[in-house]
Structure 1
Amino acid sequence: MTVRYNFRKDALRQCRENIKHLQSLDYKGSDVTLHFQLDSANYPDPDPQAKIFFFDIDNTLYSGSSGIAQQMQWRIFNYIVHEVGVRSHEEARKLMNEYYERYGLCLFGLINEYNVNPADYNTLVDDALDLDGLLKPNWQLRQALIDLKFSGKFDKLWLFTNAYKNHALRCIKLLGIADLFDGITYCNYMQREDLVCKPDLRYYEQAKLESGLGCWTNATFVDDSLVNLQAAKHLGMQQLFHVSEESESYKKVEDRIMSVNSVTELAKLLK
């Protein structure tokens, strides 16, 4: 019981520090605009002419080598061991891999198999990530997004993530790019009965509805997951980019999918 209590206590302490730090941000791009679409009750009318650029967040808008993924894995592992009660470290790691491969999110498996409370999971895992030392304003990324936004080629820049909104918004605020996006489609952990995420095609339809996209062929999408991009290609998206620091930039991965090392390369590529 002592170990479990310490894990929870540490996570809640980190959450309080994260909130305090986020509230102290005052640099450009550290908050969304008044027009940012989040949890809107009214969807825009589908526009057959609208050109929308969809952006994944984790390991896409920031480097996959930032250390955030490793910290996330550490928190998920400890949640499974200390909160779910899977005492075998080997079994905990096995479940993490199995659930990710089967559901796209480890949380899906924990809800289905262990009936975990998604709000509790979000607090002790996602919200407790110590991002302050890992994500800083990225002015090169900001300029690249500004170039895309005002290029005349896109009507909206839209976030499309498997994260819950708390984590998603914290990331873009810390990066100093929050004011450049028009809205977000996020994985709503709290709707446990209707929980969907990439690469489930229903989630792409949700993004289409929320963003006002009228035609799949007018969508551009960047993600670090090839599987997610292949799902988008299946729906008809024509311009797809796979972010991989290990791949050769501007190399064709497969039909309609091109590799880039970083999102910062996209403004130059799409001139």
Structure 2
Amino acid sequence: MSLILLSRQIRSTISISNTQRLKNGVTQKAVFGFSAIRYSYLARQSHSVATHWYTDSTMGSNGLPSNGVDRHTTKVFFFDIDNCLYPKSAKVHDRMADLIDKYFAEHLSLSWDEAVRLHKEYYQNYGLAIEGLVRHHQIDPLEYNSKVDDALPLEGIIKPNPQLRKMLEDVDRSKVKLWLFTNAYVNHARRVVRLLEIEDLFDGITYCDYAAQPLICKPHEKAFANAMKDAGVENVDDCYFVDDNYQNCKKADEIGWHTAHLVEEGVKVPRTPASKHQIRSLEELRNVFPDVFKKP
């Protein structure tokens, strides 16, 4: 399946207003808080989709866009989204798990206990419950997305986090790109960062396209290779990564990324660390990766 890589490399300007999905050359509406975004379209065979963005605001006197991003930087800091940019205590994951269990029960005509069991089995086997549903039950993945991810009442749960924004603003954007890397579908991912009021700080996002088969998502090694290609980085030593998922961090560490496993306060610390760095809060990134932050 040909998917679309959205990049900032050409000159065509497109005004956008709702959620965007590009596939097989078809453009649908998009939203991410910008009045205009420049895109180029490069069809490629892949099972993740990347979106790059920057606003048409005036360039600064230093030749950089107003958010300070140097588009020729070589280092990339990849951020997971769910249970990473907001805390587990928000219980978004718990609410999502309930919706997934409900979907299993209703669409597969299962008892609640069997739905919970099968959901857990597919998550453990494939990393995403939806992959098991598509593989074994041929469900409509976008209908699933509407019943699960898009049905979450995020507006009442996720609020702006000034401390998070300040930490991201303190990254030295003349040397480092900020990139979102998630197993969620694009609708959910963009809702979260919009509600956190940090969408303008990121260069782009690599997300899991639920309509593609097979699904290639973290912790599959190809997902990390796709993210590097999407973000325009070639050397694993130039990749920085933070995620709350043990397996995702373990794989990133194995392939050579500078990795920090987020194990927030109240969460049991794993007996064997997933990666070299283990942190209790995103603020600790300043200490474990001081080279990516602005000097005091």
| Same fold? TM cut 0.5 | yes
Cα deviation for residue 253 of structure 1 reads: 6.5
CA shift in 2, pair 1:255/1:119, >3 Å: closer
Where 1:185 maps in the other structure, the secondary structure is strand
Q: How does 1:118-197 map to 2 (within 5 A)?
A: 118-150=141-173, 152-154=174-176, 156-191=177-212, 193-197=213-217
| Post-superposition CA distance 1:171-217 (Å, at most 9, x none) | 000000000000111000011x2311100111111101111011011
Equivalent residue number for residue 80 of structure 2: 56
Instruction: Give the root-mean-square deviation of aligned CA atoms.
Output: 2.8
CA shift in 2, pair 1:256/1:195, >3 Å: closer
- 1:264 pairs, out of 270, 279, 283, with 283
CA shift in 2, pair 1:197/1:58, >3 Å: same
Letter in 2 for 1:102: N
- 1:203 pairs, out of 217, 220, 223, with 223
CA contact (8 A) 1:35 1:182 kept: no
Equivalent residue number for residue 231 of structure 1: 251
CA contact (8 A) 2:184 2:208 kept: yes
The answer to which structure, 1 or 2, has the higher relative contact order (CA under 8 A, 6+ apart) is 1
**What percent of counterpart residues are identical?**
39
Partners of 2:282 and 2:181 in 1: how far apart?
15
Equivalent residue number for residue 27 of structure 1: none
- 1:117 pairs, out of 140, 156, 171, with 140
Letter in 1 for 2:86: Y
For structure 2, the residue ranges without an aligned partner over 5 or more in a row are: 1-17, 19-31, 44-49, 53-70, 291-296
Where 2:259 maps in the other structure, the secondary structure is strand
Letter in 2 for 1:232: A
Q: Which runs of 4+ in 1 moved over 4 A?
A: 32-37, 251-256
CA contact (8 A) 1:243 1:259 kept: yes
The answer to which structure has the higher strand fraction is: 2
Letter in 1 for 2:276: I
CA contact (8 A) 1:48 1:215 kept: no
Equivalent residue number for residue 98 of structure 2: 74
Partners of 1:198 and 1:72 in 2: how far apart?
18
Where 1:241 maps in the other structure, the secondary structure is strand
For the pair 1:244 / 2:245, whether they are aligned, the reply is: no
Equivalent residue number for residue 41 of structure 1: 42
Cα deviation for residue 161 of structure 1 reads: 0.3
Letter in 2 for 1:213: V
Partners of 1:240 and 1:111 in 2: how far apart?
31
Letter in 2 for 1:76: I
CA shift in 2, pair 1:165/1:264, >3 Å: same
Where 1:132 maps in the other structure, the secondary structure is helix
For structure 1, the residue ranges without an aligned partner over 5 or more in a row are: 1-18, 20-29
Partners of 2:164 and 2:241 in 1: how far apart?
16
Cα deviation for residue 41 of structure 1 reads: 2.3
Q: TM-score, normalised by structure 2?
A: 0.72
